[in-house]
Amino acid sequence: MYLPKIKICGITNPIDALQAIDAGADALGFVFYRKSPRNVSVNVVKSIVVNLPPFVLPVGVFVNAKPETVRKTMDDCGLALAQIHGDESAEYCEALGRPVIRGIRLRDRHTLFAMAEYKGRSRVRGFILDAFSTTAYGGTGKTADWALAAEAAESFSFLLAGGLTSENVQEAIRKVRPYGVDVSSGVEASPGKKDPAKVTAFIQAVKLVSS
């Protein structure tokens, strides 16, 4: 049975984390980028991760951070994956020495060639395809190009992000067939604060389309 994985990103507090887990999330994303309204401190993330069940994946989101900062943050917090979501090169990801999921802003077909540079690198486990924006690295609420994402799905393993909500995620899954889906602003009451009803509705929508 095709069961897309579900990542709830932009978690900033223990209550939102536990609610997402109870609703059925497979992974939680924590943003370590000061310009993001979802930026969270190391101490808060440590307090959340230490209480996670063993098969819920904690992911740290980094944008153009120094490699030593990423490594120290991951080790201090007990993070399983580094989501690299800025302008970092394939060499940066490989040299990081930690498991990486590469965030890609899906602009046009040339983006697929850029993804190929990362594929096959031992540290890069997969991708997150987000909507392209000239003003932000993610969390914009813009919808990604699903037709182009469907092309990418023929060659790459990725989580689809960008403007997903409980209302459109089933259509997105049917059209793209991603490994998983990633949502942040689409399940929020306000930037950095999740809406429990939206989180539950989103996860239920994914599980229903997959059954």
Could you list the pLDDT tens digit for every one of the 211 residues in the chain? 788 999 999 999 999 999 999 999 999 999 999 999 999 999 999 999 999 999 999 999 999 999 999 999 999 999 999 999 999 999 999 999 999 999 998 888 888 888 888 877 678 999 999 886 545 555 556 788 899 999 999 989 999 999 999 999 999 999 999 999 999 999 999 999 999 999 999 999 999 986 5
Burial bucket for residue 95 (CB in 10 Å: 0-12, 13-18, 19+): exposed
DSSP 32: E
- The terminus-to-terminus CA distance of the chain in angstroms comes to 7
When the candidates are 3.20.20.70, 3.30.70.100, 3.30.1360.170, 3.90.79.10, the CATH number that belongs to 5-210 is 3.20.20.70
pLDDT for 46 equals: 98
Query: How many whole angstroms separate alpha carbon 93 and alpha carbon 73?
Result: 15
pLDDT for 133 equals: 59
Query: How many whole angstroms separate alpha carbon 159 and alpha carbon 129?
Result: 6
* pLDDT tens per residue, range 120-132: 767 899 999 988 6
* pLDDT tens per residue, range 61-83: 999 999 999 999 999 999 999 99
Q: Domain ranges in the chain?
A: 5-210
Q: Which residues are catalytic, by number?
A: 9, 130
Tokens of 141: 């609420």
pLDDT for 2 equals: 85
Cβ within 8 Å of residue 136, ≥6 positions away: none
pLDDT for 136 equals: 52
